[in-house]
Homo-oligomer: A and B are copies of this chain.
C-alpha cells in the first residue's frame, strides 16, 4: 500500500471533518453536490472522508476566503487533478478556454498571495499527520 492509497482511504465521519476543517455539514455537503469532493459512503450511505478529501476541503475553504466562487474553485481543483492524471483526454475547444481561465485565476491568486497569507497548494492536513 503506497502513500497515495493511504491518503485516499475512507476514514472520517462528517462530524470529525467538521471539526478538522471548521466547516458546517451543510457546506461540506454542498461542495460535494457541486463535485468539489467525492467522499466514499458506508453501506448505510453515510459519508466517509479521506485525508485527501479533508485536504481539498481546506483548500476550498481557503479559496473561498480569497473570494473565489464554486465555479472558480472547481477549475482550480480540476487543475490539480489533471496535473496528476495519466493520459489527458484530447482537449476540446471548451477545455482550452478552461485552461485559459485557470491560468488567469492562478495568476490572480498567486498575486494575491504575495501580500496576504501564504498559498497552501498541497497537503495542509496531511502535513499534520505525516512525518516530514
Contact = CB atoms under 8 A, between A and B. Distances in A.
A131 B131 contact: yes
Contacts of A15: 42
A11 B3 contact: no
Given A11-B12, A11-B16, A13-B13, A129 B129 contact: yes
A26 interface: no
A130 interface: yes
A129 B6 contact: yes
A128 B6 contact: yes
22 contacts: A1-B128, A3-B131, A6-B128, A6-B129, A10-B16, A11-B11, A11-B12, A11-B16, A12-B12, A12-B16, A13-B13, A13-B16, A15-B42, A16-B48, A51-B129, A129-B129, A129-B130, A130-B130, A130-B131, A131-B131, A131-B132, A132-B132
